[in-house]
Amino acid sequence: MVSSGHPTSSCTEPVETDPRRPKPGSGLYVVATPIGNLGDISERAREVLASADLVLAEDRRMAARLLQHIGVRTTVANYHEHNAARARPDILRRLAEGQVIALTSDAGTPLISDPGYRLVDEALEAGVAVRAVPGPSAVIAALSVSGLPTDRFMFVGFPPPKQAARRSFLAEVAGIAATLVFYESPRRLPDCLRDMAAVLGDRPAAVARELTKLHEEVRRGGLPDLADHYTAAGPPKGEIVIIVGPPAAAETDWAAIDRELADRLTGESLRDAVDAVAAGSGAPRKAVYRRALALKNGDGGA
């Protein structure tokens, strides 16, 4: 995720790799970088960036700022959606020669809304070792402070910019039983939240911006309330992550289930009736079986 964060800590001493520690083996290293606070760079990321023969970056200026901050002088080359197809053959050649190449994004973990996927895929296809150097991610950072369920979530990236396409996109993911995580531009945030409220309903949500930076903010509430707030306040500044809670579980209509069971039990076996009603209603089979057994024994619904 692109970021223009400013360092909140200072580090000017050059990185010196531990002579007792071997240089990273040749291959492609997918290196996570800070999403705002440069103090979040990991020690392993520092060592890989210092030892690499080449650092690939979406924006050389952003990468140079980070490398200067940690005292690293590794050569940096642009690798972004506009030059990726042209750049990949040379990168793959260098990897085949045994070089150490670090793939970074402007902020966060590479391949999350950036063009690194094809390079990783082609490197693996060529038999090159690809290693992860994990670290910051705006998706995980936003989820961790959202107050919404995190046991199951889906990252769906940027919604389309036009309303009709955006609403169609939201309708496609509306039924997913998981917390949804979106990226969005500040300029489109009010319109996007209004469409989310219209398509997804009054779900709990959070808007996280400027994560790890000086003006970090997480605003929580229902989608209609958040839409009203940002419509009145206007587009905010900074990088935006929207987190939307999962749809509420539908209530089971047990009365309708009992009626269908009673109808089916007049001409079907207990097992067949239970299987058909459980499949059609989505209710737990064991619960349907108990109710069917009670009906068959003349006890009414369970």
Check residue 10 and give its pLDDT: 36
In a domain, residue 12? The reply is no
> What digits encode the pLDDT tens for the residues 244-276?
999 987 778 899 999 999 999 999 999 999 999
> What digits encode the pLDDT tens for the residues 77-126?
999 999 999 999 999 999 999 999 999 999 999 998 777 999 999 999 99
In a domain, residue 152? The reply is yes
In a domain, residue 18? The reply is no
In a domain, residue 11? The reply is no
- How far apart are alpha carbons 142 and 137 in whole angstroms? 9
Residues 132 and 31 placed together within one structural domain of the fold: yes
Question: What is the domain extent for residue 90?
Answer: 27-136
In a domain, residue 195? The reply is yes
In a domain, residue 218? The reply is yes
- Residue-averaged pLDDT of the chain: 90
**Can you give the pTM of this predicted structure?**
0.77
Residues 122 and 155 placed together within one structural domain of the fold: no
**Which parts of the chain fold into alpha helices (H)?**
43-51, 60-69, 84-96, 116-125, 138-146, 163-173, 189-200, 223-233, 254-265, 270-281, 285-296
In a domain, residue 10? The reply is no
In a domain, residue 56? The reply is yes
Of the CA atoms within 13 Å of residue 191, those in its CB half-sphere come to 14
Residues 98 and 43 placed together within one structural domain of the fold: yes
Residues 183 and 86 placed together within one structural domain of the fold: no
Residue type, 90: D
